[in-house]
Amino acid sequence: MKNSNAFNIGFWLKKTARKNDGQVPIYARIRFEKQRSDLSVHRTVLEDHWCHSSSKVHRGFKESASINMYLDDIQAKLLDCHRQLMAEGAPISARAIKERFLGNDKPVHTLKDIIEFHRKHEVPKLAKGTVKNYSATETYLTRFVKERYRSSDVKLSLIDYAFLIEFETYLRNCETIVKNIPLSNNGIMKHMERFKKLVTLAHKFGCMSRNPFSLYTMKFESYDSDFLEEEEIQKLKNLVLKEFNLRIVRDLFLFSCYTGLSYIEVKLLKQGDIVKGIDGDFWIDVKRKKTNTPVKVPLLYDAKMVLDKYRDFPKLENDDSLLPVFSNQKVNAYLKLIANKAQIRKKVTFHVARHTFATTITLMNDVPIETVSKLLGHTKLSTTQKYARVVEKKISKDMGTLKKVLDMKTTGQATSNHDLDVGMGTEQMERGMHLRVIK
């Protein structure tokens, strides 16, 4: 069937590949601007049953209707491949149309392909911690595919909404990578979030006709992370620690409490990141490692004391870092010991310091939430609101202020009424009272 003078599709029998039972393979021939490319359609027919003029199977023969319908589908798909290439502005040839039909012009075809593509082109842009998280997601995906499909890989075309639901269910019931520590709901959602990025990447390449995640909803559970109150911060400051490593970690934690910097930002802090601010005092001027957002934080007294304590630390072998920072695992392990020694009954990790800065250091001292958002380097105010919860002490403080204001108004009104009564005669007072009663 001719689509234009330059492009047409026809079907023919490849007689040189005749089978022992007389069946002859049917091929599609794509012609485009005097070039041609042949494609097996994976169907066979006896030569006597083939109509050369119509390039179809003669009606009346067994399976003629189903084969002819199948050939019509092949023709429609090839026409659509031509249309796709034209719409994309891609170079068009008979070979290109065939490759698009076969899917060979796509960079990825299977789940493993997209994982490998992501590792090669996207992972180098990510932080080490994020790379580790992707590795965990990939491990769970590989295990799931092996259990569900009895295979080491699966075609992208098989990843649909049902696949997503089954994978989520698998995560809720499978043996975890870290044994005896089950995945929380939010941990599962983070795996689904990373899987979504892989699938979306494949969809953008045109390797998947639809993105099944367009139908899927992430269901994160809200929770309040721990933070330290002023009394607990003082406990840490006053705690006598004999072990040098514990003293270092305590100092690092307090530094983060008074700056809001994350673990990696403290670790990478250098002399050049300390600058003179608009007020003439020292400020920290860095970019958030997670979002590359600029952050400027005034250097509070307690934070400055920590920097002064380790003034001699920056050396060439330390990459000129201002503070001695252990690995994240060690820091959190030491913090657990420190919290026990200080009798702080909370799960203290380094990230708790950032929450403490948002809540106890800033909001509890009446710093507006918009300012706190800037200090934390958040791009959305809603993100800050997750850190800066309203605590009972803040409510008590605010209501105490309101109570004083109301008491002053009430006391002032009472005094005004008393002065008015003293200036009136008895008869006027009685008349005034009478008028008030009638009113």
- pLDDT tens, residue by residue, 98-157: 988 887 776 688 999 999 999 999 999 887 888 999 999 999 999 999 999 999 999 998
The pair phi, psi for residue 42, each rounded to 5°, is: 60, 40
Which DSSP symbol is given to 152? S
Torsion angle (degrees, nearest 10) of CA 324, 328, 333, 335: 60
Between the alpha carbon of residue 147 and those of residues 21, 110, 143, 166, the distances in Å are: 40, 17, 6, 11
Condensed to tens digits (0 to 9), the pLDDT of residues 20-52 reads: 999 999 999 999 988 999 999 999 999 999 998
**What's the 3-state SS for 312-365?**
CCCCHHHCCECCCCCCHHHHHHHHHHHHHHCCCCCCCCHHHHHHHHHHHHHHHH
pLDDT at 391: 64
How far apart, in Å, are the Cα atoms of 65 and each of 23, 46, 136, 151? 17, 15, 50, 35
For residue 439, name the pLDDT band (cuts at 50, 70, 90).
very low
Nearest CA to 195 among 152, 150, 151, 136? 136
3-state helix, strand, coil in the chain (%, to 5): 55, 10, 30
User: In the numeric block, which tokens belong to residue 174?
Assistant: 């499978």
Using the CB atoms, write b or e for 112-125: b if 16+ within 10 Å: bbbbebbeeeeeee
Per-residue confidence at 235, pLDDT binned at 50, 70, 90?
very high
- List pLDDT tens digits, range 278-322: 899 999 999 887 778 889 999 999 999 999 999 888 665 667 789
pLDDT at position 430, please?
Answer: 43
Can you tell me the distance from the alpha carbon of 145 to that of 110, in angstroms, rounded to the nearest whole number?
Answer: 12
Secondary structure (3-state) at 168:
helix
User: What is the pLDDT confidence band of residue 222, given thresholds at 50, 70 and 90?
Assistant: confident
Which residue would you say has higher pLDDT here, 256 or 428? 256
| Residue 12 backbone phi and psi in degrees, to 5 | -150, 165
Q: Which two tokens stand for residue 302?
A: 């307690």
Domain ranges of the chain: 7-102, 111-215, 230-389, 393-438
Q: What is the residue-averaged pLDDT of the chain?
A: 87
Which has the closest alpha carbon to 322: 286, 351, 293? 286
Q: Is the pLDDT of residue 9 over 80?
A: yes
The region of weakest confidence among 151-160, 324-333, 352-361, 371-380 is 371-380
Q: Which of 77, 22, 31 is nearest to 49 (CA)?
A: 22
Can you give the pLDDT at residue 426? 46
pLDDT tens digit sequence for 71-89: 999 999 999 989 988 887 8
**Cα–Cα distances in angstroms (integers) from residue 366 to residues 205, 253, 287, 370, 425, in the given order:** 50, 23, 25, 11, 50
Residue 356 has pLDDT above 90, yes or no: yes
pLDDT at residue 176, rounded to an integer? 94
| pLDDT tens-digit map of 177-190 | 988 889 999 999 99
Collapsing DSSP to helix, strand or coil, 89 comes out as coil
**Does residue 369 or residue 2 have the better pLDDT?**
369
Task: Please state which architecture CATH assigns to domain 230-389.
Answer: Orthogonal Bundle (1.10)
CA 62 from centroid of its chain's CA atoms: 56
Q: Where do we find the tokens 């799931």?
A: 144
- Say which residues have a Cβ less than 8 Å from residue 291's Cβ, sequence separation at least 6: 377, 379
Instruction: Print burial letters for 388-425: b (CB count within 10 Å at least 16), e (below 16).
Output: beebeebeeeeeeeeeeeeeeeeeeeeeeeeeeeeeee
What would the mean pLDDT of 216-237 be, rounded to a whole number? 90
Beta bridge partners of 35: 32
- In one-letter notation, the amino acid at residue 325 is V
Measure the CA–CA gap between 358 and 390, rounded to whole angstroms: 11
Q: Report whether pLDDT(388) > 70.
A: no
Give the DSSP H or E segment for 17.
Answer: none
How many CB atoms within 10 Å of residue 133?
17
